């Protein structure tokens, strides 16, 4: 069931969609994150720029001393909002500020705390600063702000996004499993219906599950097809029955006329007798064909019961042992001690065994040894007829079974050449496997029933 779930289209499709969505969402979230981080950094930089502008304005109104005073004040607050200031004169001597040795840069720079000197009073979390500078009247003012708060913010953002993504993925997978399972159940229902129909219950249909999706449409199509199939087979049976009736009645009349004829001489009497025999041969052939067709169509399956293979074989053996011996063959019946039950039709299985034994009797030049066996192969009941006759060459064995040789090359008097076809039809009806093998020498025919 696990494997089936993973192979189910519904599950796979959902899985693919879930993954695709997750990847897309991840991409979007990543972009959003990077953008947000960029924005946050912008804000920090804006703060720095604003601070620079303020200080420049202050210098213009309060002069150099005012600036130094302001910086000293800011430095005192800076430890709490982690800003750094560096004011140097034209020769690089420090005038004010809590930072020193910030290198010269263009526009802006991100410096790490250990590459410059800062006062210890600065927040220990502040390890990276974004700095900008400006020249005011021969002095160089550098202002910087720590990025650690921004970092914290963006980290939180990243965590939230990752959690959201994970949740999305899990929900997607969970949904996939649910959809997969439900689809799997519906597909199982369809398969069950088709199996039952293949087994012969033509009236079966896929139940209506009230949804209006793809599977529902397929189910409707399947039901329509099954309906047509049932009608077709019905009409086939009807045709067979009609043919049977149409053929039998004229043959009956033919026979009746021949029987009522009063021949005047021996010769005519013989002709009439042979004609009657021919009429009977015609009847026997189409009767056998009709029977095979009906068996192939599943007739009698409803009447299946548990029957003992041993009893069937013993009754066949008791009938044909004498016949075989009269033909010069030796015949033996080999059965185990305990009953071997199979589910099937007694009459048909008797005919199957009889056909095989008769085939052996008729096709072996004497003397041959014919064996009728019943045995268990693991827990598979088997019936076998083996002879030491000419056998069937390996390549012809396939043909005999596959193409359902309806017309034997060696057709004799009352035989209609359909024996093996009948055997195959009966075996198929019982869900049994028919196998032809080399008896070394000779032919062995094995019928293996399902356990």
Interface segment toward other proteins; rule CB under 8 A; list 138-146, 213-221, 255-263, 334-342? 255-263
The rounded distance, in Å, linking the Cα atoms of 414 and 280 is 9
Give ∠ CA 324-328-334 in degrees, rounded to 5.
Answer: 45
The rounded distance, in Å, linking the Cα atoms of 137 and 134 is 10
Rounded to a whole number of angstroms, the minimum distance from the CB of residue 183 to other proteins is: 41
> For residues 44 and 383, which CB has a smaller minimum distance to other proteins in the complex?
383
Residues 6+ apart with CB under 8 A from 371: 331, 332, 333, 334, 384, 385, 386, 387
Does 358 contact other proteins by CB under 8 A? yes
Footprint on residues 376-415 left by other proteins (CB under 8 A) = 412, 414-415
Distance from the Cα of residue 290 to its chain's centroid: 39
Which residue reads 């039952």 in tokens?
Answer: 196
Does 372 contact other proteins by CB under 8 A? no
Does 122 contact other proteins by CB under 8 A? no
> For residues 168 and 323, which CB has a smaller minimum distance to other proteins in the complex?
323
Closest CA to 303 of 353, 344, 342, 340: 344
Element (H, E) at 7: helix 2-7
R_g (Cα) of the chain, nearest Å:
49
Footprint on residues 263-302 left by other proteins (CB under 8 A) = 276, 279-280, 283-284, 287, 290-291, 294-295, 299-300
* The one among 254, 271, 272, 400 contacting other proteins by CB under 8 A: 254
Rounded to a whole number of angstroms, the minimum distance from the CB of residue 196 to other proteins is: 20
Helices 419-429 and 346-363, packing angle to 10 deg? 150
* The one among 40, 157, 323, 404 contacting other proteins by CB under 8 A: 323
* The one among 114, 264, 265, 326 contacting other proteins by CB under 8 A: 326
Residues in binding contact with other proteins, number by CB under 8 A: 46
User: Could you give the dihedral angle defined by the CA atoms of residues 96, 101, 106 and 112, in that order, rounded to the nearest 10 degrees?
Assistant: -110
* The one among 362, 373, 406, 433 contacting other proteins by CB under 8 A: 362
Does 253 contact other proteins by CB under 8 A? yes
Does 256 contact other proteins by CB under 8 A? yes
Bridge partner residues of 135 (DSSP): 140
* The one among 106, 107, 212, 260 contacting other proteins by CB under 8 A: 260
Footprint on residues 184-243 left by other proteins (CB under 8 A) = 240-241
The rounded distance, in Å, linking the Cα atoms of 389 and 369 is 8
DSSP alpha helix (H) spans, 199-265: 214-260
Q: Do 387 and 320 contact (CB within 8 A), yes or no? A: no
Footprint on residues 301-320 left by other proteins (CB under 8 A) = 303, 315, 318-320
Kindly list the residues in this chain that would bind other proteins in the complex (CB under 8 A): 240-241, 244-245, 248-249, 251-256, 259-260, 276, 279-280, 283-284, 287, 290-291, 294-295, 299-300, 303, 315, 318-320, 322-323, 326, 347-348, 350-351, 354, 358, 361-362, 412, 414-415, 419
């Amino acid at each position: 069931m696990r494997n089936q779930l993973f192979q189910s289209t519904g599950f796979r499709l959902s899985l693919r969609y879930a993954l695709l969505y997750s990847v897309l969402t991840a991409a979007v979230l990543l972009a959003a994150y990077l953008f947000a981080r960029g924005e946050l950094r912008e804000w920090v930089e804006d703060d720095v720029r604003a601070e620079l502008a303020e200080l420049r304005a202050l210098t213009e109104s309060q002069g150099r001393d005012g600036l130094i005073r302001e910086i000293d004040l800011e430095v005192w607050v800076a430890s709490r909002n982690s800003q750094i200031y560096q004011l140097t004169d034209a020769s690089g001597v420090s005038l004010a500020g809590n930072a020193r040795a910030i290198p010269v840069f263009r526009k802006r720079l991100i410096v790490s705390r250990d590459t410059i000197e800062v006062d210890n009073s600065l927040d220990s979390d502040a390890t990276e600063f974004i700095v900008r500078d400006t020249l005011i009247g021969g002095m160089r003012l550098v202002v910087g702000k720590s990025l650690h708060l921004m970092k914290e913010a963006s980290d939180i953002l990243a965590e939230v996004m990752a959690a959201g993504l994970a949740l999305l993925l899990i929900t997607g997978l969970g949904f996939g499993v649910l959809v997969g399972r439900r689809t799997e159940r519906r597909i199982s229902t369809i398969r069950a219906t088709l199996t039952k129909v293949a087994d012969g219950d033509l009236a079966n249909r896929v139940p209506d599950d009230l949804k209006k999706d793809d599977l529902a449409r397929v189910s409707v199509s399947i039901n329509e097809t099954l309906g047509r199939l049932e009608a077709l087979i019905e009409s086939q049976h009807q045709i067979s029955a009609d043919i049977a009736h149409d053929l039998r009645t004229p043959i009956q009349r033919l026979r009746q006329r021949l029987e009522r004829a009063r021949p005047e001489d021996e010769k005519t009497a013989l002709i009439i007798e042979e004609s009657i025999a021919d009429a009977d041969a015609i009847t026997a052939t189409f009767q056998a064909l009709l029977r095979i067709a009906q068996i192939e169509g599943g007739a009698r399956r409803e009447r299946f019961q548990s029957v003992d293979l041993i009893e069937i074989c013993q009754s066949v053996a008791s009938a044909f042992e004498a016949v075989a011996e009269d033909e010069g063959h030796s015949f033996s019946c080999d059965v185990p001690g305990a009953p071997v039950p199979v589910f099937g039709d007694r009459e048909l299985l008797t005919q199957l065994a009889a056909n095989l034994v008769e085939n052996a009797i008729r096709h072996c030049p004497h003397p041959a040894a014919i064996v009728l066996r019943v045995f268990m192969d693991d827990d598979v009941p088997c019936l076998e007829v083996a002879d030491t006759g000419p056998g069937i060459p390996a390549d012809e064995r396939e043909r005999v079974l596959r193409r359902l040789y309806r017309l034997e090359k060696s057709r004799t008097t009352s035989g209609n050449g359909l024996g093996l076809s009948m055997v195959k039809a009966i075996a198929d009806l019982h869900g049994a496997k028919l196998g032809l093998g080399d008896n070394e020498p000779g032919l062995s025919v094995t019928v293996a029933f399902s356990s």
